[in-house]
Homo-oligomer: A and B are copies of this chain.
Amino acid sequence: MENTFYSPKGFQVAGVACGLKTGGQKDLAVFLSQTPCQVAGVFTSNKVKAAPVVYDQQIVQSGKSVRAVVANAGNANACTGEAGMQHAQQMAAAGSQLFDGQADDVLVLSTGVIGVPLPVEKVTGGIESAAGQLSSANWLDAAHAIMTTDTEVKIASVQSPSGYTITGVAKGAGMISPNMATMLSVICTDAALTPEMLDKVPHVWAQSFNRIVVDGDMSTNDTVLLLANGAAGVEAGVESDFYDLLSEVSTQLAKAIVQDGEGATKLVTVTINHAATPQDADTIARAIATSPLCKTAFYGADPNWGRVVCAAGYAQAAFDSDKACLTLTDGAQEICLFSYGQAAEYDEPAAIALMETDAWELVLDLGLGDSDTWVWTCDLSHEYVTINGHYRT
C-alpha cells in the first residue's frame, strides 16, 4: 500500500527497539497527544482476553479521555495471570511519565506469542528511549514497531477539505478472522468529535475491520482504537463526511491486513447477494471465506465452484442451490461458473487466468431475499503452513 501520510496535529509518535524481537528490530510504539483525546475502541470477543485488552476496556468504557497509547510486539501478554495485569499497568505507568500523567491516561497494546511473561523492564526501558524519538514525522517507525509476521508496514491517511486529518496504522497477518483477530490498529485524528459521533465509530469498523478473514482464528489481543484530540481546531462537521473518511482509512488498513495475511497471495472479496436475512448472508460469506478447501482452490487458481457451493450448503443458513448463481469477476469481466443447481458453460482458461491475478471477487447470488454482504479473505498457501508450523522456533 501507499506509505505517504499526513500527520494529525498535536500527535507525536515513535517506534523503537526494546529487545522483545530478536535482531534489534523495532518492537515498541508510542502514540502521544499534546492534549487529552476522546477515545473509541473495539476489542476481541474471545473469552480469553489478554491483560492489555482487559486494562484498556475498563478505561474506554469509563468514557474518560486519554493522552497516549503504548504498543509492543513480540509478546502478547495473554494467559499471563496476575503478573500480566501488573505488567500492563506498569507499561501504562511508564507511558504516563512521558507527559507527567497518570497510568489511566494511557492505553496499552501487546501482540506476539501467548503465555510467556512480558519482560516488562524491556518495555519500560523502551518507553524511556522512545521519549527522545517522539515526532510528528515518525509514523512509519511506529507502524513498523507493531508488526509481527506482517511483511509490509500498514499506514493509511486522509485529509478532510475542512482541515482535519485521520491517520492510522495497523498490524495483522495471522489469526485474522471477522471478529477482530490478532489485529491491532491505532487511528489518530485532530478532528473534534461529539460524544454521539464517537459512539457510532464501531459501526464504521463493523464494515471494515470486522469484514476480514485470514484463517478464522480469533485472537486474545485484537484491538482497534481511535484517538481524537481536536487540535485541528475544526469540528468534524457533517457526520457522514467524517464517517466516510474514517471508513476510507479503516478499509485501507483492513484490506492491507488481508493482502498481507500469512502466506496470502491473493485478496478475494466474497460477496453474497439476495440472502434471506442479513445473518444468513454473513454466515454464508464467512463459511466460504474460512473453508480450507475454498481457500486452497483460490491459491491454486482453480475455478472449483463445487467447493464454494458446498460451503454455502453446510453453512447454518438458508440456501437452495437451485436458486443460486456464482460469478467470478475482476470488475472488468464477469464469468458465471454456476447457475441454478448446475455448472454454467464458461471459458475455463479465462476463469483460471482471472483467478491467477492478485485481487478478484466471487459473487454468490442466493435468490432468496434482499440481504447483501461481503467479506475480504485471502488464499491458503504453502507459506501459511510454513509460517505457522514453526512460529515459535
Query: Chain A residues in contact with chain B, CB under 8 A?
Result: 45-48, 76, 78-81, 113-116, 174-175, 177, 179, 215-220, 291-293, 296-297, 299-300, 302, 304-307, 309-314, 319-321, 338, 341-343, 380-382, 384-386, 388-393
CB of B306 within 8 A of CB of A384, answer no
CB of B217 within 8 A of CB of A393, answer no
Q: Closest CB of chain B to A130's CB: distance in Å?
A: 27
CB of B389 within 8 A of CB of A302, answer yes
CB of A382 within 8 A of CB of B386, answer yes
Q: Complex formed: what's the CA distance from A389 to B341 in Å?
A: 24
Q: Closest CB of chain B to A318's CB: distance in Å?
A: 8
CB of B299 within 8 A of CB of A79, answer no
For A48, A217, A311, A312, the residue with the greatest tally of chain B CB atoms inside 10 Å of its CB is A48
Q: Complex formed: what's the CA distance from A215 to B320 in Å?
A: 23
CB of A391 within 8 A of CB of B304, answer yes
CB of A291 within 8 A of CB of B393, answer no
Q: Complex formed: what's the CA distance from A175 to B304 in Å?
A: 14
Q: Closest CB of chain B to A380's CB: distance in Å?
A: 6
Question: What is the total number of copies of this protein in its complex?
Answer: 2
Q: Closest CB of chain B to A367's CB: distance in Å?
A: 14
Residues of B within 8 A of A297 (CB): 388-389, 391
CB of A300 within 8 A of CB of B390, answer yes
Q: Closest CB of chain B to A280's CB: distance in Å?
A: 12
CB of A47 within 8 A of CB of B342, answer no
Residue of B nearest to A337 (CB): B115
The one of B79, B115, B304, B389 that contacts A300, using a Cβ cutoff of 8 Å: B389
Residues of B within 8 A of A310 (CB): 46, 48, 78, 114, 175, 217-220
Q: Complex formed: what's the CA distance from A321 to B300 in Å?
A: 39
Q: Complex formed: what's the CA distance from A327 to B241 in Å?
A: 53
- The 8 tightest CB contacts between A and B, nearest first, are A114-B306, A300-B389, A48-B313, A296-B388, A218-B314, A81-B342, A46-B313, A215-B292
A46-B313, A292-B388 known; A79-B114 Cβ under 8 A: no
CB of B343 within 8 A of CB of A302, answer no
